Amino acid sequence: MSRIGKKPIALPSNVTLSVDKENVVTIKGPKGTLTQSVDPDISVAVEDGQIQVTRPTEQKRHKALHGLYRALVSNMVTGVSEGFKINLEVIGVGYKAAVTNNVLELQLGYSHNVYVAVPAEIKVTAVTEKGQNPKVYLEGSDKQLLGDVAAKIRSLRKVEPYKGKGIRFVGEQVRRKAGKSSSKK
């Protein structure tokens, strides 16, 4: 069996799971509700407080889907019970970040400000402390959506390797390059 797929998922007491006839898994918890349609061949069931994902055969396709849907359901359970967080750092002279009504306003060295409309499911905050680089905090229950939004924000000004300016994840290591060296005569 798939090593990931055969692991049971612990179901916290404040989280409920339901599977309908079309094999759509719905998970409800304190942080919200998430749904995921599951392939008809893969079955999802709750056994003694644990979620078990099973596959019908040992076909390569079923093995691949088994691990995939187990990971997706596990991320949904974690999302509705604890939630996910991604922290971004805006590095550069004159670079700023501010939030108004779930719209992130960024000054990234362009001739204009960049506005990013963040989905309602994600909570965004921007913090600027004196002497520190501005930080953008993203929180949400949907891991896929959170990662997509973080990647979209990061793509607005990718980190360049010479000065390290741009938007990066907090703690991300950027490989630096040496600039032009003057020729010696």
Nearest to 109 by CA among 177, 170, 152, 163: 163
Beta-ladder partners of 167 = 90
Residue 154: pLDDT above 90? yes
Q: How many domains does the chain have?
A: 2
Nearest to 162 by CA among 180, 176, 181: 176
Residue 183: pLDDT above 80? no
Per DSSP, helices labelled H in 41-172 are 60-81, 143-155
Contact (Cβ atoms closer than 8 angstroms) between residue 49 and residue 11: yes
Residues in the chain: 185
The reply to whether 2 falls in a domain is no
Structure confidence by residue, pLDDT tens digits, 36-71? 999 999 999 998 889 999 999 989 999 889 999 999
Residue 169: pLDDT above 70? yes
Same domain, 122 and 151: yes
Same domain, 109 and 159: yes
Helix and strand totals (H; E) in the chain? 2, 13
Phi, psi of 110 (to 5 degrees): -85, 175
Same domain, 145 and 164: yes
Residue 76: pLDDT above 90? yes
Domain end, chosen from 61, 82, 103, is at 82
The reply to whether 180 falls in a domain is no
**DSSP letter at 143?**
H
Structure confidence by residue, pLDDT tens digits, 22-38? 999 999 999 999 999 99
- In our burial notation (b when 16+ CB lie closer than 10 A, e otherwise), range 23-58 reads bebebebebeebebebeebbebeeeeeebbbebeee
Angle of CA points 108, 114, 118, to nearest 5°: 120
The reply to whether 185 falls in a domain is no
Same domain, 56 and 103: no
Contact (Cβ atoms closer than 8 angstroms) between residue 80 and residue 30: yes
pTM recorded for the entire structure: 0.87
Same domain, 39 and 89: no
Measured between alpha carbons, how far is residue 49 from residues 4, 11, 16, 46 in Å? 18, 6, 10, 6
Same domain, 95 and 156: yes
Structure confidence by residue, pLDDT tens digits, 97-121? 999 999 999 999 999 999 999 999 9
Q: Which domain holds residue 45?
A: 9-82
pLDDT of residue 1: 46
List the structure tokens of 2. Answer: 């798939």
The CATH number assigned to the domain holding 133 equals 3.90.930.12
Same domain, 72 and 134: no
Same domain, 95 and 162: yes
